[in-house]
């Protein structure tokens, strides 16, 4: 007997009514994914990033986007809800530009970790489809002002394509800002082989070159009219060759970075991004000259060489800025510490980076590098109204973030499981 057949008429009607009600409720809640109506934020210092600081300004938010922004003389629309935030600061949502947020929850629970695949060529993998909108790591990151993430797949030489996501939404489609952002390549680590034209080609380097050659042959064959089965892995690499998709190259040390620069020159790949460690500072002049953007991690790491000073990692962002390199600062992909991204920028400020450049390095700069600056990264008319309200400098650990708004809606942090546990044990009974 079928399940439906086993339900009584009364039970069936009740089930049907519950189903209809759930659909209606889901539709109503879903509509709240984007703020409706008009809300005005008045009196805060607006740190726009792309247009300086507006003291005691006014920002008008309508239908999830910034409709107007200016000083205290800016018109307040009739009937708008006014939020008084005098004496506070408003910043655009920060971007974690190298992240596994939404793809990994509890490291010890394999079923909650979906960050990569096995094999050398995973170019067809799409990071965004692995995102869980219910991940417990999202709200803590948002509580630190990080409202967006560039999520990156891992595994193999080509790990797949990345995406820029919102940290709030009903599902991965709702959360995705743009995808694919770029194809990711873990560049082979051949030591100093990249400096020696006669050095033997490593197995990994051979696999990389073969993948590029196969993709080029695949493209030539299809262009010639040969009927071939579609190959998504080769097509992604071909997209890079044809300039239709950007390449992000992962490289951890100077020799890898130098070899990557040499290899991309040989392959005539002119539009690519370096995702690497603070070793990038040693190549700052070359990176600036070739206009290679950098997503820099390990700023909070310790020196890796005996001759390096204690603050070599901390001062690396300042060296990139001085050389004119376009860069964004990021933590490692580990989701547990995504909320610390602002403090990475703060450490760079303490060791020579200009404060405005530091804020830019975790907001507008990653948006520009990743191709979403028309939607994110600054408080500008037409961009998503995703921002946070703080009582001070967000790069300082002592600063409190009082409110977070995502696409015109205030984020409810009471949903956060960690916050619920904190309240539970804060209010635990005390011993007599």
Query: What domains can you pick out in the chain, each with its CATH number?
Result: 32-93+379-432 (2.30.40.10), 94-376 (3.20.20.140)
Q: Looking at residues 188-197, what average pLDDT do you find?
A: 58
Please tell me whether the overall predicted TM-score, pTM, comes out greater than 0.75 for this model: yes
pLDDT at position 194 is: 44
Predicted confidence (pLDDT) per residue in 16-42, tens digit: 444 444 443 333 333 346 777 899 999
- The answer to whether 102 and 138 are in contact (CB under 8 A) is yes
Q: If you average pLDDT over residues 414-427, what whole number do you get?
A: 87
Residue 85 pLDDT more than 50? Answer: yes
Q: Give percent of the chain above pLDDT 90.
A: 73
Q: Within 10 A of 304 (CB to CB), how many other CB atoms are there? A: 14
Strands (E), 246-380: 247-251, 272-276, 294-296, 327-329
Stretch 238-252: mean pLDDT: 96
What are the angstrom distances between the C-alpha of 60 and each of 259, 261, 286, 299?
Answer: 49, 45, 43, 36
Backbone φ and ψ of 378, nearest 5°: -155, 165
Maximum distance among all Cα pairs of the chain, rounded to whole angstroms: 85
């Amino acid at each position: 007997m079928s399940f439906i057949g086993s339900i009584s008429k009364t039970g069936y009607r009740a089930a049907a009514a519950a189903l209809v009600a759930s659909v209606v409720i889901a539709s109503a809640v879903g509509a709240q994914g984007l703020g409706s109506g008009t809300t005005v934020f008045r009196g805060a210092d607006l740190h726009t990033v792309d247009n300086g600081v507006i003291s005691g300004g006014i920002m008008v938010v309508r239908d999830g986007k910034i409709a107007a922004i200016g000083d205290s003389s800016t018109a307040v629309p009739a009937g708008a809800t006014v939020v008084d935030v005098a004496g506070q600061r408003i910043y655009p949502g920060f971007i974690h530009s190298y992240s596994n947020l939404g793809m990994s929850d509890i490291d010890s629970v394999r079923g909650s970790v979906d960050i990569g695949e096995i094999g050398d060529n995973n170019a067809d993998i799409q990071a965004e489809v692995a995102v869980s909108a219910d991940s417990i790591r999202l709200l803590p990151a948002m509580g630190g002002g990080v409202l967006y993430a560039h999520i990156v797949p891992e595994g193999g030489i080509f790990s797949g394509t990345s995406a820029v996501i919102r940290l709030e939404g009903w599902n991965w489609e709702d959360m995705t800002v743009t995808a694919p952002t770029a194809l990711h390549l873990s560049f082979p680590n051949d030591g100093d082989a990249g400096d020696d034209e006669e050095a033997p080609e490593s197995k990994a380097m051979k696999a990389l070159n073969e993948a590029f050659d196969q993709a080029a042959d695949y493209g030539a064959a299809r262009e010639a009219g040969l009927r071939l089965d579609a190959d998504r892995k080769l097509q992604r690499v071909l997209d890079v060759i044809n300039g239709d998709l950007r390449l992000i190259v992962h490289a951890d040390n100077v020799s890898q970075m130098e070899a990557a620069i040499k290899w991309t020159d040989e392959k005539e790949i002119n539009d690519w991004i370096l995702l690497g460690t603070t070793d990038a500072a040693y190549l700052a002049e070359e990176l600036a000259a070739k206009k290679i953007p950098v997503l820099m991690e390990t700023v909070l790491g310790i020196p890796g060489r005996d001759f390096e000073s204690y603050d070599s990692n901390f001062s690396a962002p300042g060296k990139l800025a001085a050389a004119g390199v376009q860069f964004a600062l990021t933590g490692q992909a580990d989701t547990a510490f995504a909320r610390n991204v602002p403090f990475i920028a703060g450490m760079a400020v303490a060791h020579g980076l200009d404060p405005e450049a530091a804020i830019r390095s975790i907001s507008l700069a990653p948006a520009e590098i990743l191709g979403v600056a028309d939607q994110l990264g600054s408080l500008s008319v037409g961009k998503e109204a995703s921002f946070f309200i703080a009582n001070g400098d967000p790069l300082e650990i002592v600063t409190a973030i009082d409110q977070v708004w995502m696409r015109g809606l205030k984020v409810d942090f009471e949903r956060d499981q960690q916050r619920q546990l904190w309240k539970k044990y804060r209010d635990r009974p005390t011993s007599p």
